[in-house]
Structure 1
Amino acid sequence: MAPGAGTAGVRGRDWLIKRVAALPGDPVPRDRVRSLAGAPEQRVPPGKVVLLGDNGRVSFDSRDVGYFPLDRVLGTVVTRSPRGSSF
């Protein structure tokens, strides 16, 4: 099973403000997310997302815990990044 924060990993936290880097069905961003480097699947699984914060050195995000449950994300699209852009 691929790593992930799961509901328990995010339940006790206050709001996290992150950028959605990959949605279900998108390629797993192994090159940018160290915790997903060994994920067996090629695409982000259903019900999961990859979240990245702007300050990677101190941000609690997918670089540390892998996938986040999609049902725990509340968000608004402010602007769309072009496909293939890096964070």
Structure 2
Amino acid sequence: MKEIMGWIRSIALAVVFALVLGIFVFQPYKVDGHSMDPTLQDQQRIYVSKLSHTFSYLPDYGEIVVIDSRVERERSFLDDIVSHPLVALLTGTADDHSMYVKRVIGRPGDVLELKNNQVYRNGEPLSEPYIKEAMRDVADAKWTVPANHIFVMGDNRNHSTDSRDIGFIPLDHVMGTMIENPFQSEK
């Protein structure tokens, strides 16, 4: 019985450690769809640093972030727990499609414009070598990013649901920033 209790304690400690690590430090995510082509592929596994979410850091321009697309609702600490892969698997919410992988285009105070199928930030056209192709048939638009929010877009601009559709992303909906995959070898 003593040996069984030792195993149970060890397993419980490992589960708690995995939860803390996944909620506060880093977490794997799977890319779902083609909105980040050619940078990221459908079903590709990426690793995300959660430190920006934990400490409310503002992500830099061009960083790839995972966001909670349900911007119309407040997020709570319970949302962070439920979105952990282990908890999601146990609760049957592993197929939740509310987490999007996108690129940061605008930060608080920025004026973003779409004109002539090009993105402008604060009056300057963006150099975006990472996009799949030029935007087609885009209506001119203009936004000013509010405080404590960011504006995100997918690299496959013609096939991406992003801030153009869902609106500005509150900082507490930024789950983290992508880090290089330490387990993937260079080709």
Contact kept? 2:106, 2:151, Cα under 8 Å: yes
- TM-score (norm: length of structure 2): 0.30
* Structure 2 Cα separation of the partners of residues 69 and 48 of structure 1: 4
Residue 30 of structure 1 corresponds to which residue in structure 2? 113
Deviation at 1:18, TM superposition (A): 0.4
- Count of equivalent residues: 69
Q: TM-score, normalised by structure 1?
A: 0.56
By percentage of residues, which structure has more strand?
Answer: 2
- Residues 35 and 63, structure 1, Cα contact 8 Å, conserved in 2: no
Q: Map 1:7-86 to 2 at 5 A.
A: 7-8=72-73, 13-25=97-109, 27-31=110-114, 32=119, 37-39=141-143, 41=144, 44-76=145-177, 78=179
Contact persistence 2:71–2:173 (CA under 8 A): no
Residue identity over aligned pairs, in percent, reads 35
Of Structure 1 and Structure 2, which has the larger fraction of its residues in helix?
2
| Partner-residue secondary structure (3-state), 1:16 | strand
**Partners of 1:35 and 1:62 within 8 A in 2:** no
Give a deviation string over 1:1-37, Cα, whole Å, max 9, x none. Answer: xxxx7334xx974321001111113x22112387892
C-alpha RMSD of the superposition:
3.3
State the SS of the aligned residue for 1:57: helix
- Unaligned ranges ≥5, structure 2: 1-69, 74-78, 80-95, 121-137, 181-187
Extract unaligned runs of 5+ from structure 1: 80-87
* Contact 1:52/1:61, CA 8 A, preserved across alignment: yes
The 1:71–1:63 alpha-carbon spacing in structure 2 relative to 1, beyond 3 Å, is same
Which whole-Å CA distance do the structure 2 matches of 1:77 and 1:13 have between them?
18
Q: Which residue of 2 aligns with 1:6?
A: 71
Structure 1 window deviating more from structure 2 (55-64 vs 70-79): it is 70-79
